[in-house]
A and B are shown apart, each in its own frame.
Chain A
């Protein structure tokens, strides 16, 4: 597999992709990690990203789309700078996950899968994020926030809005 001459990804990601296709017995196995890294790189998986990944793995774009559409954590539209994922699965739901979600909706003025006008925040209602012991919990980008209360959510969002939050990738 040759290195793509004009990659749409950052040099680091492109380099990572060059390696990824070599480490599996079948190049196609690199598809899901590639999609994830592409999303981290671009904020979402664009048509151009689909095309480049298909090219890198010698797949049809249709094959890439088939996989891409299967996973709910892969996006084909841009999210906000801080993507807030509120868990409403059973553990979180019992201790007020929906209160957290509706508070976020009210405060940000957006619904599920919405993005604020300034592009700072986006909101998603998600299934279990594996933080049941500290429910209710939410995830901002890759950063976990648990044992939430409405007040705690406010201060977390304030921190992010003021640029004090971590932007973990």
Chain B
């Protein structure tokens, strides 16, 4: 739209026609206060705080509903306006309890700020205030009616933003009240309740303390916490969650999770898992001391020295007597990139095994291989916000990847993006879909074939064949298309779909995986046949020169084969980091009876109970590093909480390797002097090609980076990742600023050859809004929500 020029407080401003005055002013640094206005939601003009004087208009006008116009002359702050706002505040405070000293919002309350600014401290209102008790609407949401200023933000956020429509407004005038969707007359306990997705967005947007969360209520004040913005450990969307932490006698506990500055990849959004699903970290029953299994089957807590020495000696012994091939390694989906990288390097260069795997939630290998020559076709999470057309095939983002669903809904609502949904189930996003295609049971392979042009596959792809044809034609007509793929499609089917997608112009692709760093685990080579950056073990690669004498040349066993080997007695040791394969893959404990098992864990999980050594591990909220979401967006993880006794997986790996007699400088490049004793010389004196120069030091110098001084510094590992892993050409400043950056894997050419026969071994995580693998079971709040919604929600229409 053409720009218009107008004047605010004497400043000449320019903004595109159609911009709201409040937004145009904000963009130029002129703040106009508002309670009801929220960017991206429909306009309400309920609070009257944003009134401004516009020349030639008879009365004060609301800046939140007035589009800018050519030649408009505006005054945003005059004594008249200040008086109007002061009067508005006086009315809002008419029945406000002013219990700021105990209110959760005190210190971060928009009403409080405005009252201070406009000095509306005294009131003509002398009548007694109308008190109402606070109500518990759900396990997460409390409502304190007198504090409410009726801005309607929560109602619009719940309806338009979340597509849940669980909040409404009832009665009128001074009796008007926000009401949840289960009225008191219809609930078992005679009180009003919410039946919703429990995302907490209503609490987030509430400008006052009317809506508060059960987790944080009356716990502490905003200024008494440290706020650490890190990445949520749960699903694969990689939202930024700001954790409020507070010192305790044994470390620091997380008191609150929220989306404080909205600076993350998630913008305005955060779901219940990011908000409330941190409580596992504060549990009393966490493992905080190393434990060794005794002959009678019980665990005995021991000193770190004893546990490390025992583990190191046993593993070294097994490697040297039975060979690295008898050792298996299983990594988790919530490790940082640095830990995942170090784990596979530890396995390959110290344990001498390629038997490495993780729980694969999406087929990132096939994606990397299929898009090898199209690195610009990897979609970012940000593409969901702006794509003009989206094909969502399989998956259920509303449950599995709530930010993806939020972005799709917002994109459809604000930008009229066209959403095509193909799914076997009536997933909730079909309500935003321009076209919904019901796929026949097990028809994902057929639909991929049909889209590629195989008309014979039509009957097994969908029930409605005519609609199927229209669907394909509509996709073909799109000038650009973002293709989001659920975990139903993998290996050959996924390859077929991507091949089809590449025939369309301007397509981008992303897989919907689960868990914070499932993508990173694949990128970092927690795979038996692939090294970091999807380099096949059997092909030519740089790792041979890096990983030392124990590096095996043959591909190893995958996760299922590892347990098969255990059954046949060929698995002498199993090293598990932050994973629970015994429960996830239903492994019979007897299988592992003769295997020496080492595990890094927080809790006595099904797998940990079988272990011989348990190391108390830190979780993602207690460590630093980087993670990559399902889309390949890299973000910084910052240490927020702390628990005495636990250590990060990175530190544990280094310490175990040390006790195995490995040279730590070769495992983690640290220190000013490299293992060779040489300083970086860029090859002038010894020749970088000769193999004698310290490649890492040379690379650091060439990239203007300092050597890291500690072997426990994740950035030392990140340096090596950046040096060795193709596609990890990341920008440090971007990372350290807390911004996300999109990385596209750069798979080598020979990856394609493996593809045809390779099993994908993807086990969809099938997590819902209130589950999160094994970790979710240890979150009291998620368990509570899960129990509440064990039945089909009644308030949300089933279709």
Contact = CB atoms under 8 A, between A and B. Distances in A.
A69 interface: yes
Given A47-B186, A60-B181, A65 B165 contact: no
A65 B179 contact: yes
Given A47-B185, A60-B181, A60-B797, A66 B168 contact: yes
B164 to A, nearest CB: 10
Nearest to B177: A69
B678 interface: no
A62 interface: yes
B181 A62 contact: yes
Contacts, number: 32
Interface residues of B, number: 15
Contacts of A70: 170-172
Given A47-B185, A60-B181, A60-B797, A65 B168 contact: yes
A61 interface: yes
B166 interface: yes
A27 to B, nearest CB: 15
Nearest to A50: B183
B749 interface: no
A47 B183 CA distance: 10
A167 interface: no
B316 to A, nearest CB: 65
B731 interface: no
A63 B185 contact: no
Contacts of A63: 165, 168
B166 A62 contact: yes
B169 interface: yes
Interface in A60-97: 60-63, 65-66, 69-70
Interface string A37-51: 000000000010000
Nearest to B170: A69
Contacts of A65: 168, 170, 179, 183
A65 B186 CA distance: 13
Nearest to B164: A60
Interface string B465-499: 00000000000000000000000000000000000
Nearest to A72: B172
Interface in A127-141: none
Given A60-B181, A60-B797, A61-B181, A66 B165 contact: no
Contacts of A47: 183, 185-186
Contacts of B183: 47, 65
Given A47-B185, A47-B186, A62 B172 contact: no
A60 B798 CA distance: 12
Given A47-B185, A47-B186, A60-B181, A66 B797 contact: no
Nearest to B796: A60
Contacts of B185: 47
A138 B586 CA distance: 76
Contact of B171 (A60, A62, A69): A69
A61 B186 CA distance: 11
A62 B169 CA distance: 9
A129 B183 CA distance: 31
A60 B186 CA distance: 15
B714 to A, nearest CB: 48
Interface in B263-316: none
Interface string B151-191: 00000000000000111111110000001010101100000
A124 B339 CA distance: 73
Contacts of B186: 47
Interface in A104-133: none
A62 B192 CA distance: 12
B41 to A, nearest CB: 17
Nearest to B185: A47
A60 B169 CA distance: 13
A42 to B, nearest CB: 15
B110 to A, nearest CB: 25
A60 B165 CA distance: 8
Nearest to A76: B185
Contacts of B795: 60, 62
Given A47-B186, A60-B797, A66 B181 contact: no
Nearest to B167: A62
B798 to A, nearest CB: 12
A65 B185 CA distance: 12
Nearest to A71: B172
Contacts of A60: 165, 181, 795, 797
A70 B179 CA distance: 13
Contacts of A61: 181
Interface string B583-600: 000000000000000000
A70 B173 CA distance: 9
A118 to B, nearest CB: 25
B797 A62 contact: no
Residue with the greatest number of chain A CB neighbours at <10 A, chosen from B166, B168, B179, B185: B168
B172 A66 contact: no
A88 to B, nearest CB: 18
A66 B179 CA distance: 8
A151 B339 CA distance: 92
A161 to B, nearest CB: 32
Contacts of A62: 165-168, 179, 181, 795
Contacts of B168: 62-63, 65-66
A142 B797 CA distance: 37
Contacts of B172: 69-70
A63 B179 CA distance: 10
A112 to B, nearest CB: 15
A54 to B, nearest CB: 10
B667 to A, nearest CB: 59
B150 to A, nearest CB: 13
A63 B165 CA distance: 9
Residue with the greatest number of chain B CB neighbours at <10 A, chosen from A61, A63, A69: A69
A66 B171 CA distance: 7
Residue with the greatest number of chain B CB neighbours at <10 A, chosen from A47, A62, A65, A70: A62
Nearest to A70: B172
A69 B171 CA distance: 5
Interface string B754-768: 000000000000000
A63 B166 CA distance: 10
Interface in B2-26: none
B179 to A, nearest CB: 7
Nearest to A63: B168
A62 B195 CA distance: 11
A65 B795 CA distance: 13
Contacts of B170: 65-66, 69-70
A53 to B, nearest CB: 15
A60 B170 CA distance: 14
Contacts of B179: 62, 65-66, 69
Interface in B234-256: none
A62 B166 CA distance: 8
A32 to B, nearest CB: 14
A66 B178 CA distance: 9
A99 B169 CA distance: 36
Nearest to A51: B186
Nearest to A58: B797
A69 B178 CA distance: 12
Interface in A12-46: none
Interface string B179-210: 10101011000000000000000000000000
Nearest to B171: A69
Given A62-B165, A63-B168, A70-B170, 9 more contacts: A47-B185, A60-B165, A60-B797, A62-B179, A62-B795, A65-B168, A65-B179, A66-B168, A69-B179
11 contacts: A47-B183, A47-B186, A60-B165, A60-B181, A62-B167, A63-B168, A65-B179, A66-B168, A66-B169, A66-B170, A66-B179
Interface of B: 165-172, 179, 181, 183, 185-186, 795, 797
Interface of A: 47, 60-63, 65-66, 69-70
The 4 closest A-B pairs by CB, nearest first: A69-B170, A66-B168, A62-B168, A62-B181
